[in-house]
Copies of this chain bind each other. A is one copy, B any other.
């Protein structure tokens, strides 16, 4: 139909016809059926985004950024939460595959690629791993300097004179946590100190129990490094319950900054990740890959791995600026 030409623009339509068609479109309230377009064109103008949890402000910010970029390309984003479950993640990928998404951004629940992801790869759907790495498939990668950021933070604590710096968190199997632990170990080793990690803390209760135990030991820790947002909050809750004073009784640096960190009882020193930039870069990379997979010719190599820097935000909880607390 000539209508298609009018809607999609481009080729030879006389101004008169164009006007008539547009009038008809308005009169009838016509909306192109995306399903039919998709059926014809093989791929939907949608991309998928899998994150562990939308309630986590870090991922929410990423999602926002991804959506904005997708919007500028006329694409919609199918956002889905894996709830940190490998099975849920797998099912959701399958549902997205059925909807013939044009590309997938994923914060993988585990390092090894899911079977469904390999199916997507075979179907030549561009893949970008966001925040975490993904092995076993050919995927783009956008991550932050986890190890470096952690190392800088722990070095800072050591520079304040702390000798027993304990590192706590959850799930060392997750790529980001693993990397941060690496950074922690590097900093400790460099200073000739004994690393000490607890990475099985799922709840506020277990976190508090651990801290109570540690703080009752004779040579008790004087500084704490928390490996992720959730653990940081659990630690803060425990610290309040135990009526400890930050940083006098215990210095604290958390990995991942958040909006309210400056407003806490003691403002929190934290390693800030560029969440917005992360989402944006990943989305851009994905659309680059999508474009390339369409145009056959252009095979100039593109950057498939981006590592963004972190920033140590000094506030009071590490021992700096304690006057302004």
Chain A positions near chain B (C-beta within 8 angstroms): 29, 31-36, 38-39, 44, 46, 53-55, 57, 60-61, 63-64, 67, 71, 76-81, 92, 94-100, 119, 122, 233, 236-237, 240, 258-260, 262-265
| Complex Cα gap A36–B265 (Å) | 56
Quick check: A99 and B35 within 8 Å, CB to CB?
yes
Looking across the interface, which residue of chain B has its beta carbon closest to that of A95? B76
Alpha-carbon gap, A260 to B55, bound state (A):
13
Ordered by A's residue number, 14 sampled pairs between the chains whose C-beta atoms are within 8 Å are A29-B119, A31-B119, A33-B39, A35-B38, A35-B39, A53-B64, A55-B64, A60-B60, A63-B79, A77-B78, A77-B80, A233-B259, A237-B262, A264-B265
Q: Quick check: B55 and A98 within 8 Å, CB to CB?
A: no
Query: Whole-angstrom distance from the CB of A243 to the nearest CB of chain B?
Result: 10
Per the bound structure, the CA–CA distance linking A287 and B76 in Å amounts to 22
Q: Is the interface of A mostly helix, strand, loop or mixed?
A: helix
Query: Which residues of chain B are near A39, meaning CB under 8 Å?
Result: 33, 35-36, 39
Name A263's contact: one of B33, B44, B79, B240 (CB within 8 Å): B240
Among B33, B54, B260, point to the contact of A100 (Cβ < 8 A).
B33
Whole-angstrom CA separation of A166 from B36 in the bound complex:
56
Using Cβ atoms and an 8 Å threshold, which residues of chain B touch A260?
Answer: 233, 258, 260, 264
Q: What 7 A-B pairs are tightest by C-beta distance, nearest first?
A: A35-B38, A34-B98, A35-B39, A34-B99, A260-B260, A79-B79, A60-B60
Chain B residues with Cβ under 8 A from A76's Cβ? 78, 80, 95-96, 99
CA distance A67 to B91 in the complex (A): 14
Contact B55–A81 (Cβ < 8 Å) = no
**A67 and B77 alpha carbons, distance in the complex (Å):** 14
Contact status B100-A35, CB under 8 Å: yes
